[in-house]
A and B are shown apart, each in its own frame.
Chain A
Amino acid sequence: AQKVTQAQTEISVVEKEDVTLDCVYETRDTTYYLFWYKQPPSGELVFLIRRNSFDEQNEISGRYSWNFQKSTSSFNFTITASQVVDSAVYFCALSEGGGYNKLIFGAGTRLAVHP
């Protein structure tokens, strides 16, 4: 069965600290897609990144980076030099290939960045 686990319920850091949000997934499919979404206090989820199961290259976008490791079924998200504007709930999600985009979401990690 598909499952996404975000073990960290809440993380609190001080501005400029680096922080890593963990995501572990379970799937039997060989083709699947992993996503990260950000939910700021305004409520709407904002797409951050998508990764397919055949591309294990890590990705960096500004202060954000993602580490995809199939060997450990993990897709972790790191924010470097965190800022107050990074405060939000972050969701990891899984979509299995071959079907429509039914996303299985983790429970989310609430990140609080303090000045």
Chain B
Amino acid sequence: SQTIHQWPATLVQPVGSPLSLECTVEGTSNPNLYWYRQAAGRGLQLLFYSVGIGQISSEVPQNLSASRPQDRQFILSSKKLLLSDSGFYLCAWSVRRVADEKLFFGSGTQLSVL
């Protein structure tokens, strides 16, 4: 069966420090991968998606970047964190990249930038 792992679960970082969040998927090949952010009291916002190794699409301009160095690994990074980067970050995957496809989510990373 397929599983998705995301770490760390909680992270507290000072403003201006770098960030690296990692997500890996097991039990499937060539998944479509996504990074979402959930701000307090708001819905999830799609940040990045990837259809393959090295292929990253950004949905919103921001202080973050994503990379996919391996088929089932998706990394969210920042060189210098801002206060506004605080939030709950969720990694997700899907089999297909079509409109009716459901997503499978990781357990998320709560990031607090102080």
- Interface of A toward B, CB cutoff 8 Å: 4, 6, 9, 31-33, 35, 37, 42-47, 50, 52, 91, 93, 95-108
Q: Closest approach, in angstroms, between the C-beta of A93 and any C-beta of chain B?
A: 8
In addition to A33-B99, A46-B105, A95-B100, 20 A-B residue pairs with Cβ atoms within 8 Å of each other are: A4-B43, A9-B41, A35-B102, A37-B105, A42-B107, A43-B110, A44-B107, A44-B108, A50-B100, A50-B102, A93-B43, A97-B100, A100-B98, A101-B96, A101-B99, A101-B103, A103-B103, A105-B43, A105-B45, A107-B42
A44 touches B103 (CB 8 A): no
Q: Within the assembled complex, what's the spacing in Å between the Cα atoms of A33 and B98?
A: 11
Evaluate whether A47 and B99 lie within 8 angstroms (CB atoms) in the complex, with A105-B44, A107-B43 already known.
Answer: no
Evaluate whether A101 and B98 lie within 8 angstroms (CB atoms) in the complex, with A44-B106, A44-B107, A44-B108 already known.
Answer: yes
Q: Within the assembled complex, what's the spacing in Å between the Cα atoms of A48 and B92?
A: 15
Q: Is the interface of B mostly helix, strand, loop or mixed?
A: loop
B94 within 8 A of A: yes
Evaluate whether A32 and B43 lie within 8 angstroms (CB atoms) in the complex, with A45-B105, A47-B104 already known.
Answer: no
Evaluate whether A91 and B100 lie within 8 angstroms (CB atoms) in the complex, with A42-B107, A44-B105 already known.
Answer: no
B41: which of A100, A102, A104, A107 is its contact (CB, 8 Å)? A107
- A-B residue pairs, 3 tightest by C-beta: A105-B43, A43-B108, A45-B105
A98: which of B43, B90, B99 is its contact (CB, 8 Å)? B99
Evaluate whether A99 and B99 lie within 8 angstroms (CB atoms) in the complex, with A42-B107, A44-B106 already known.
Answer: yes
